[in-house]
């Protein structure tokens, strides 16, 4: 079966053509971004509910020590903020790449490889290359989301100790997205502002 697929040059051309078409129309980025944004909102809200319910039931009973979580089902649910933030970071990465394709027609695929400019994951650099002005808080938020793209949303520690030190010594507590959900049950003003600059009209679910 595998040999037939590999030998079938017509099928290879079919997939290459679909690949080029997906990048050409930008839908591959925008559609994925929108789906991830909605999934992030759902996970943020549900994790906030789990968190409130857990502390309501265990008020005065549970003692936490720095850097340690007890291996209970209830407490493990609180860690949902990490994958939720990763989904938000992936959503914004997809939106900025869709925006990039719209303003720079040379990025549209002409062969079977993504252009190098679209292979980047540094959100701040992508915004700069697209000439999108950022406030200090928006820039801080993008640096925070970039850290989740690279390691925080996927691994316990990064490859480099400098990245680890940078993350924990930055003022990220100012813009942590989950805090906005805990207070207002919606994305923070910085997230909304960034989405608007990318032309994303998102009213929530």
pLDDT tens for residues 37-51? Answer: 999 999 999 888 877
Phi then psi dihedrals of residue 160, to 5 deg: -115, 135
Query: What's the average model confidence in pLDDT over 102-129?
Result: 75
DSSP-assigned letter for residue 72: -
pLDDT at 2 over 50: no
Statement: residue 30 has pLDDT above 80 = yes
Average pLDDT value over all residues in the chain: 78
- Predicted pLDDT at 5: 44
> What is d(CA 90, CA 40) in angstroms, rounded to the nearest whole number?
10
Crossing angle of helices 136-147 and 81-103, rounded to 10°: 110
How far, in Å, CA of 23 to CA of 109, rounded? 6
13 or 29, higher pLDDT = 29
120 band by pLDDT with thresholds 50, 70 and 90: confident
Tokens (6 digits) for 97: 């790449």
Name the band, by pLDDT with cuts 50, 70 and 90, for residue 28. confident
| pLDDT of amino acid 174 | 74
């Amino acid at each position: 079966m595998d040999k037939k697929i590999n030998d079938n040059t017509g099928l290879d051309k079919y997939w290459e053509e679909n690949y080029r078409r997906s990048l050409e129309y930008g839908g591959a980025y925008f559609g994925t971004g929108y789906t991830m944004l909605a999934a992030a909102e759902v996970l943020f809200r549900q994790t906030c509910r789990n968190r409130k319910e857990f502390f309501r039931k265990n008020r005065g009973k549970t003692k936490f020590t720095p850097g340690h979580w007890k291996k209970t089902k209830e407490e493990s649910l609180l860690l949902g903020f990490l994958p939720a933030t990763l989904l938000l970071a992936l959503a914004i990465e997809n939106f900025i790449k869709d925006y990039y394709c719209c303003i720079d027609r040379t990025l549209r695929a002409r062969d079977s490889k993504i252009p190098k400019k679209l292979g980047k994951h540094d959100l701040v650099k992508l915004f700069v290359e697209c000439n999108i002005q950022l406030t200090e808080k928006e820039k801080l938020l993008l640096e925070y989301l970039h850290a989740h793209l690279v390691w925080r949303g996927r691994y316990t520690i990064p490859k480099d100790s400098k990245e680890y030190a940078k993350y924990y010594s930055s003022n990220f507590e100012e813009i942590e997205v989950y805090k906005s959900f805990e207070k207002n049950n919606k994305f923070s003003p910085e997230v909304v502002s960034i989405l608007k600059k990318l032309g994303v009209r998102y009213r929530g679910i």
